[in-house]
Amino acid sequence: MNKIDRAIQKAFQILCLSLTFITVQSWADSVPGANGPIEITPLVHSSVQLEYEGFVVLVDPWGPVDISHAKTADLILVTDSPGHHLDVATIAELSDVDTSVVIAENGLPQIPDGVVAANGELLKVAGVTVEAVAAYDIILGPPEHPKGDANGYVLTLGSKKFFFAGVTECVDEVKALQGIDVTFIPMNIPVGRMTPKAAADCTKILAPEVVYTYHYDQDWVRRLANPDFGGSDLPGGLSIPETLDAFESELAGSGIEFRRGNWYPE
């Protein structure tokens, strides 16, 4: 085999490995449901899409970047009232006449026809079961998330229970949840709330099969409005990638699978 043939063979091997990696990554963003896979698509920051048997759920759909791959929703869950959770234009774009939109009461001024869910309320919406879970601060300080103001949600879909925590610490209402299969947990909330260890400890209490961290790069959001923003100091002086590594390290030996969604495009 001459040098050119060897180079072609090596390039082909690299291509095959790349395709294998892409396949594995794509497969990783689903979990088995009762009648087939439940597809999980991280969109941006705290925006998530689930799809099961043609039924589409969007959580906090937000459009600061191109999310044209998101689908028209049968059900939209909104955790809080700030624009990166409640984006009226994106909600309208991804809704039709049959879309149900569940909100915390603080979203009523913006979505007056939304289905209001109070903390602790169990609803049947669009044919699926949704439980609103309290989302609030323990460590006080700005930005403030007072008790009773915002929601996390437990969604039952395809015989799996998904927990979207919203912006919260590991409050008693979160610790009390049972039988969660997939958790979306916030991390690096300002004022030292939900550090990697705190987020991992909370995840271990919930004991899901799979966990995603989300809503963990607040500086990315700030730079949308101010590209020159210099960045915040995270506890321990960690960078964002280092916090993901630290979270994964804290989960070691728990048996919980940590999946790193692509939440923040360049």
Residue 184 φ/ψ, nearest 5 degrees: -115, 115
| Mean pLDDT value of segment 4-20 | 37
Give the model confidence (pLDDT) of 128-140 as tens digits: 999 999 999 999 9
Residues 67/44, Cβ–Cβ less than 8 Å: yes
Q: Which CATH architecture has domain 32-258?
A: 4-Layer Sandwich (3.60)
- Judged by DSSP in three states, 186 sits in strand
Give counts: helices (H), strands (E), the chain. Answer: 6, 14
Residues 13 and 15: their CA atoms lie apart, in Å, by: 5
What pLDDT is attached to residue 10?
A: 38
Beta strands in 45-191 (DSSP E): 47-52, 55-59, 75-77, 100-103, 115-116, 122-125, 128-135, 150-157, 160-164, 182-186
pTM tops 0.75: yes
Instruction: Compute how many other C-beta atoms are within 10 angstroms of the C-beta atom of residue 231.
Output: 11
Which residue ranges make up each domain of the chain?
A: 32-258
Give the model confidence (pLDDT) of 82-107 as tens digits: 999 999 999 999 999 999 999 999 99
